[in-house]
Amino acid sequence: MRNFVPGHAIHLLCGGNDFFPALIRAFDAAHREIWLETYIFADDASGRAVAEALIRAVQRGVNVRVLIDGWGARLYLSKTLEHKLTSAGIDLLRYRPEVENQPFRFRRLRRLHRKLCHVDGKVAFIGGINIIDDMNTPGHTPPRIDFAVRVEGPILAQIVRTMRRVRTLVELSQLHNITLEKNVLPAVTETAGVIRANLVVRDNLNHRHAIERSYRAALGRARHEAIIACAYFFPGWRFQKALIAAAQRGVKVTLLLQERVEYKIMHYAVRTLYEKFLDAGIEIQEYHHSFLHAKVAVIDGQFATIGSSNIDPYSFLMAREANVVIHDPDFAGQLRGALLKLIADGARPVLASQWQQRTLMTRLLSALALGTLRLIMAVTGADPENGWFPMSREAREAREQKLEATPITRSLPPET
């Protein structure tokens, strides 16, 4: 576990009821600067409460920089709220705004999907929660179920560095005033607790597969139990292999997935994988009580990960993502308890006997969805090495031999 950095205080935040009050308290305590990255900033009760806290900070002389994804802003950020933020003196930018009016251009899928924030370089927030109210779930049953963490400790340096880097890239591309190093604070990286943790980011350059590899590394180390909760789940062949290998070693593997249909192609395509998972002894629980938006995992009651990355082609191949990986039995126990409660209160198991009895039409729809999804990924330039594309038995066997010869046994080092 040499890539886990000791010395952190990390607090689990379950949903907006925990997240937004903690975020606003941090904003109200800010002295010098607030940096916020989010995919969605909605004009609703929670979004307006966050906006008011940011405005209060600006009025105290705090430098506030907000980066919102261009596509997410197009869907949720009202002109009224945007004007209120900018007229108050908040430095708000959109990531890839040029694609807003080009909805059918595939390059629009390269999005800023991270949910990151740091205040004065002292405290940070990481997770899957956007700036949107849990009850704001158009077309779906509320509340939205998601997680984040509040972090203090050495990985603030990594968080500050990656946020500055992305912000600078956006400023350069838009000919915006560049945020100079002399105008920002260094991160406070002193020991704040006893938890070991690390930041794992995904981009389209040097860290294309970092988050996926951290997941597979954890599954490769698993000995007893692996619980993965994921809103959008369609793993490539390598990830499938890691899940099945863990189950075959005797690890109790549980997948908590959403039952509701949001994106029909993804919904039916992922079900082509159910049979092989069930045959391997993997337990599949489908959450039906409300809107599952989580992207978390707990391994052996010791390792946990929370972040913005789903286990699907969008997150693993196209979007900027950020996850925190944590090695601490107390924290992992808290998250495990929350996931088990979700399963007990709002999930239904997918039984192998029932799955084998699904109708011919359902099977055909799944096959058609899988073919369509593969075609979409081929057009968008998805990396075939991740295994979302069909291949011959010889090619698959050669890949297996290569993977077995170079096993992944640890998470990747942080972004530099």
Question: Whole-angstrom Cα distance, residue 113 to residue 122?
Answer: 23
29's enclosing H/E stretch is none
Catalytic residue (choose from 295, 312, 327, 328): 295
Cα 386 from chain centroid (whole Å): 18
Catalytic residue (choose from 118, 241, 293, 327): 293
Question: Whole-angstrom Cα distance, residue 235 to residue 386?
Answer: 9
Question: Whole-angstrom Cα distance, residue 5 to residue 166?
Answer: 23
- Residue 115 designated active-site: yes
Question: Whole-angstrom Cα distance, residue 303 to residue 323?
Answer: 13
The candidate with the shortest Cα–Cα distance to 137, out of 13, 46, 265, is: 46
158's enclosing H/E stretch is helix 156-173
- Residue 134 designated active-site: no
| Residue whose pair of structure tokens reads 């509320």 in the numeric block | 142
Question: Whole-angstrom Cα distance, residue 186 to residue 103?
Answer: 39
- Residue 28 designated active-site: no
Catalytic residue (choose from 43, 91, 113, 312): 113
Catalytic residue (choose from 120, 134, 146, 328): 120
Handedness of CA 283, 14, 150, 66 (dihedral sign): positive
Taking every pair of Cα atoms in the chain, the longest distance, rounded to a whole number of angstroms, is: 65
- Residue 176 designated active-site: no
Question: Whole-angstrom Cα distance, residue 158 to residue 244?
Answer: 33
- Residue 293 designated active-site: yes
Question: Whole-angstrom Cα distance, residue 385 to residue 177?
Answer: 39
- Residue 300 designated active-site: yes
Across 188-320, where does the E strand assignment appear?
195-202, 225-230, 252-258, 283-287, 291-292, 295-299, 303-307
Catalytic residue (choose from 8, 115, 122, 207): 115
Q: Which residues are catalytic?
A: 113, 115, 120, 293, 295, 300
